[in-house]
Amino acid sequence: MVIRAHAVESAYEKFSPALRSKMDCVVDAIVTAKREGHTVVACIGGADHVYRGVTTLIAELMHRGIVDGVCTTAAVVGHELAGVLEKVKRINGTKEGIRSSLLHEGEYFDVALLSPDVLEQFQQEIDVDISFYRSLLGAPGDMVTRAAGNGAYPSGLRTEMLSKEILALAAERRIPFEQMAGYGADPMTMIGAGARLGIPVIVAVSQLVGSGGVGLSIGDSIPVSERALRVSKMMGTAKVVLQSAPCFAESEQDPCEVHRGCGIWTGWQGKWTWSLAERTMILIEEDTAPAAVPGAGEAAPLPRDMTIRGDSGIIWSVLAGRVAASLGIRLEFMTYGASPESEAVREWIVNSIHPADRNEIVRAHHRV
């Protein structure tokens, strides 16, 4: 895709002086870490980040050697399995004979607008009622671009059914669901990039509920204790942690982290621990993010904590663009938050990123 560098710099120039100063500090922290051979981990979740292209941008940063690990949510993995974003026709489901008890908010139903090739692929895997599907496409409704999978027919059903197969293959090889799924996922998804590059992409223990059966399959693929340790090892070996989802508070419950977590007794027994105090933690929040509620468990800021508030899509684009420029790296994908260029980015994702290839996942199972 065409990278509009002027849009990134224009967004930076519109920041307040205080925000520009913070952004400069964050960019310097990441660039210094990479030049010194350290790792950078991103904690990312939420359908809004999928819709704004942030998760796709992180996949690009993984391919360019800037992001070295990802902690995410079951919902994001489900969307990536289905192709990140998709165009759907949103119709009145009850008028098409679908029971209102099955419908979102009792009324609407999303019909995925699939290419002939993808529809044929789905037909080979699940029972797609073609006459029903075509009748739904002919019903009156609005065209919507949304995070892929979930409640859309037949993409959501296909993702749900595929997740059960992936679980069986992952359990047999004793690897996380995310890794096994990544072998067939599009390379411009985080799980796809992770599997190809050998970069860990792991769903946090607290984020296993999401995307219906996908989340359950992720949770069942490896023991919870192993999942927690994998997250700890990834976070504990990072120099910089970028946290861009208010749902993440893994470190405060981490069984191996000693500064804010629950690692005291792990260390007491002579086992491996790590400390947030030795990391640079960068929190990217929306302007509307709720203020912290005082009370039990409230943690004081770390010496290297930095919080940046704004449109997370724009923050990530400026961050990625300036880090890449400082390191002499050319990016081939960029998102632009809520700017006028964002619609073109979503269109590119819909047309360029494809649902996971089941056959590739099965082939990978035989060679892992």
The amino acid at residue 121 is Q
CA-to-CA separations, 57 to 19, 64, 116, 120, 325, in angstroms, rounded: 21, 11, 28, 29, 15
CA-to-CA separations, 12 to 30, 47, 318, in angstroms, rounded: 17, 24, 6
CA-to-CA separations, 235 to 12, 18, 28, 259, in angstroms, rounded: 29, 28, 20, 13
Per DSSP, the three-state class of 9 is helix
CA-to-CA separations, 193 to 70, 189, 196, in angstroms, rounded: 11, 6, 5
pLDDT over threshold 60, residue 289: no
Domain boundary among 97, 125, 156: 156
Residue 35 is part of a domain; what is its CATH number? 3.40.50.1220
Residues 336 and 270 in one domain: yes
Domain boundary among 138, 156, 174: 156
Residues 253 and 109 in one domain: no
Residues 109 and 20 in one domain: no
Q: Does residue 303 form part of some domain?
A: no
Residues 53 and 94 in one domain: no
Residues 241 and 204 in one domain: yes
pLDDT over threshold 70, residue 288: no
Residues 13 and 25 in one domain: yes
The amino acid at residue 35 is R
Confidence of residue 302 (pLDDT cuts 50, 70, 90): very low
pLDDT in tens, 142-190: 999 999 998 899 999 999 999 999 999 999 999 999 999 999 999 999 9
- Strand 141-147 to 306-309 pairing: unpaired
CA-to-CA separations, 202 to 7, 68, 72, 78, 263, in angstroms, rounded: 32, 12, 6, 13, 20
Residues 276 and 140 in one domain: no
pLDDT over threshold 60, residue 355: yes
Q: Does residue 301 form part of some domain?
A: no
Domain assignment of residue 139, given as a range = 85-156
pLDDT in tens, 209-254: 888 999 999 999 999 999 999 999 999 999 999 998 755 555 557 8
Residues 48 and 148 in one domain: no
Residues 185 and 225 in one domain: yes
pLDDT in tens, 67-105: 999 999 999 999 999 999 999 999 999 999 998 888 877
Q: Does residue 219 form part of some domain?
A: yes
pLDDT over threshold 90, residue 260: no
Q: Does residue 184 form part of some domain?
A: yes
Per DSSP, the three-state class of 282 is strand
Residues 46 and 61 in one domain: yes
pLDDT in tens, 312-350: 889 999 999 999 999 999 999 999 877 777 899 999 999
Contact present, 79 and 146 (Cβ < 8 Å):
no
Q: Does residue 299 form part of some domain?
A: no
- Poorest-pLDDT segment among 10-19, 45-54, 97-106, 213-222: 97-106
Helix axes 116-125, 155-173, angle to 10 degrees: 50
**Number of independent structural domains in the chain:** 2
* pLDDT (mean) for 40-44: 95
pTM flag (> 0.75): yes
Residues 234 and 282 in one domain: yes
Domain boundary among 101, 133, 156: 156
Arithmetic mean of pLDDT over the chain: 90
Residues 290 and 251 in one domain: yes
pLDDT over threshold 70, residue 296: no
